Amino acid sequence: MDRQVIVDVMVTVHNAGFKHKHLKDRHPLIQDGNVRLISFEKATQEPCDRSAAIVVGGLEPYAEELECDELYTFGGVSCWGELHPLEVLDNPHALAELGPKSDSIEHRLEKAYTVIERYLEKYEPEKWAARQAEPG
Ligand SMILES: [Zn+2]
């Protein structure tokens, strides 16, 4: 999935004065290079207050710097000082592998779990609650 294309679509939506409010990786549909963003039932009409440009692969801004929660979230999962694709949410071991090798794998894994849990709690509360309910 070409992230730049999807980011462009999201920026277009924000520039038009809307927030999607229900963004998941499965919602941008891509066919023949065209992106169609679906699931607007929770969208709201509100201006985007972002103060910085969105650059894929660029330096990660602080959330307060970007001043747009939705686009900030969409950038990825922040860990080890960089952004990682949202797929790491389902793979804490892969995220732990990306950490500094000077740190023990146990410690990196612990941090990966913490980062993922905080991310889900804040941005995907339904998924977070479902995971909390899982045994073990
Ligand atoms: Zn925005």
Q: List, as ranges, residues with CB under 5 A of the ion ligand 1.
A: 14, 48, 50, 68, 71
Residue 86 Cα to ligand 1 middle (Å): 19
The pLDDT tens digits for 29-63 are 877 878 888 889 999 999 988 877 776 666 666 66
In this structure, are 135 and 86 located in the same domain? yes
In this structure, are 33 and 83 located in the same domain? no
Residue 95 Cα to ligand 1 middle (Å): 27
What angle, 0 to 180 degrees and rounded to 10, lies between the N-to-C axes of helices 105-123 and 125-133?
A: 120
In a domain, 1, yes or no: yes
Domain boundary (30, 57, 84) is at: 57
Residue 104 three-state SS: coil
Residue 39 three-state SS: coil
Would you say 97 and 109 are in contact if contact means Cβ atoms under 8 Å apart?
Answer: no
In a domain, 124, yes or no: yes
In this structure, are 39 and 92 located in the same domain? no
Residue 120 three-state SS: helix
Find residue 44's DSSP bridge partners. 19
Residue 93 Cα to ligand 1 middle (Å): 31
Counted domains in the chain = 2
What range does the domain containing 128 cover?
76-136
Q: How confident is the model at residue 75 (pLDDT cuts 50, 70, 90)?
A: low
